[in-house]
Amino acid sequence: MPSVKSAFESVEERKSSQVAALDIGSNSFHLVVARIVADSVQILHRLKPKVRLADGLDKDGSLSPEAMQRGLDALKVVSESLQGFEPEYVRVVATHALRKATNAKEFIKAAKKVFPFPIEIISGVEEARLIYQGVAHTNHVEGNRLVIDIGGGSTEFIIGEGFETHILRSVQMGCVSFTNKFFKQGELKRKAFEKAVTAAQQALELIDKKYKNIGWQACIGTSGTIKVIIELASHLDGNNRENKVSLSDLYTLMELCCAAGNSEHLALDGLSEDRKPVFAAGLAILIGIFKSLKITEMELSSAALREGVLYEMEDNLQHLDIRERSAESLAIRYDVDVAHAKRVLTTTMGLYQQVKKSWGIENSELKNLLGWSCLLHEVGLQINTRGIQRHSCYILQNIDLPGFSQEQQNLLAVLARFHRKKIKLSEIPEFTNFQQADVYKLVTLLRLGVLLNIKRQDDILPDILLKANNSQLYIQFPENWLSKKPIFSADIESESKYIQEIELTLEYE
């Protein structure tokens, strides 16, 4: 009789890795742990604590202490599921509530004490892109598809085909914010529904025509709100198709809500207690969406933001480098001098390689962001040569840059802002995921890369030796090279004075 102990001994196990993605949403936090094997994602574990972070946003955009505590308590629970994970295998993205919170940095600082992984606040457009990637990897549709995700504070709209997106928008409406505005104390009145539906349609006035002009062959809904609505619609009658919902189904659910009179009295099979308070708001938003975009039918996708994050974490599963595409789009739009940008990149990366260990910045994320700053530091040149640093900073801070979190985008803006001339410490913000000393070091390296290419010519730089410790830099040029370049020597001398502002000394010969 075969022994259980010897079973599977001849089975060759394929290489796999475990990754995790956490979505810090306005309504709930959603953790997904998965195994990536044979170019596919296998979900191993899910956790979805209700937090209602957006409930704690006051009229000035500040998160209440109670909401912060709910979020911190949820992170403590999540951290237990992530024990043993290395940081590079976990990605945490925060959406609308922390995007809007004026004291988001305070929350993230407190989170560091109970949660060992960095939290990225992503833009609405980046959220939309990741949502689409999650759907695209798990749902096959021929032609264009419209993907809609109703969250607690915002709703994302994407039209794409295959893995490519055509248009992405994030609209400021969600089931938590609409609950607070139209369905206070859980009252479910017809007039409140009408006002909420109208408000949703008003929010879509700037995008509905453009979306309808592009068109789609399939409409797909994601998120817990849409999932619950579609599941409830499937119980309305025997003729309703599974995993799909129509406008008439939505109106039927609205009538049932009005008949209940209050969210506490909703007795719909499959509606959980924690979903009841925000159900009517999500339903009203979806009715408004159906009406504005002339949607006849929507089907459900179980995959969304978390799955999009997971797929992008595995290099083998990435279908494009979205950051490269974003940078190229920006370079074209603002007529960047590509040859010069590459020149600065080559020089700066050469300097980085020489000091990365001694300066403690041997980190792929820091290296990548320094590289992107080399390529994009002159986007403001198209506006005006004078004040180029300020113009570049403003563009990089405010433009949509898919593939970058808000903090990564802010770092790019800071590097561009101080790539030459005076450094103003008062204009360098405090970062949550980057050490301030590291930011100063990146600023210094970019400044040197720009300065060394001030002539904007190829093949004029000799081999340069750069050494560094915590607060000192030493540049060595070939013997007598500087003495033959008096203007260049004067520029280096000026730079040695500029960087004293960030408590660095520069010596050269």
Q: Beta partners for 187?
A: 262
Q: Express each pLDDT in 42-70 by its tens digit.
A: 788 888 888 888 888 888 889 999 999 99
Identify the CATH number of the domain defined by range 13-122. Answer: 3.30.420.40
pTM of this prediction? 0.78
Tokens, residue 290: 């159906």
- pLDDT more than 70, % of the chain: 93
Domain chopping of the chain, boundaries: 13-122, 140-302, 322-508
Cα of first residue to Cα of last residue in the chain, in angstroms, is 81
Sign for the CA dihedral angle at 309, 314, 317, 321 comes to positive
Q: What is the structure's pLDDT at 6?
A: 60
Residue 243: how many CB atoms within 10 A of its CB?
Answer: 16
Question: Above 70 in pLDDT, residue 469?
Answer: yes
Q: Express each pLDDT in 485-503 by its tens digit.
A: 888 888 888 888 998 898 8
pLDDT tier for residue 319 given thresholds of 50, 70 and 90: very low
Tokens, residue 267: 């007795």
For domain 322-508, say whether CATH 1.10.8.60 is its number. Answer: no
Helix (H) or strand (E) holding 508: strand 505-508
Q: What is the structure's pLDDT at 13?
A: 55
CATH superfamily for 140-302 is Exopolyphosphatase. Domain 2 (3.30.420.150)
Q: What is the structure's pLDDT at 252?
A: 93
Q: What is the structure's pLDDT at 7?
A: 56
Does this chain's domain 13-122 share its CATH topology with 322-508?
no
pLDDT tier for residue 216 given thresholds of 50, 70 and 90: very high
Sign for the CA dihedral angle at 369, 371, 374, 379 comes to negative
CB 75 within 8 A of CB 22: no
Q: Express each pLDDT in 73-92 by its tens digit.
A: 999 999 999 988 888 889 99
CB 35 within 8 A of CB 16: yes
Tell me the three-class secondary structure of 251-309, residue by residue: HHHHHHHHHHCEHHHCCCCCCCCCCHHHHHHHHHHHHHHHHHHCCCEEEECCCCHHHHH
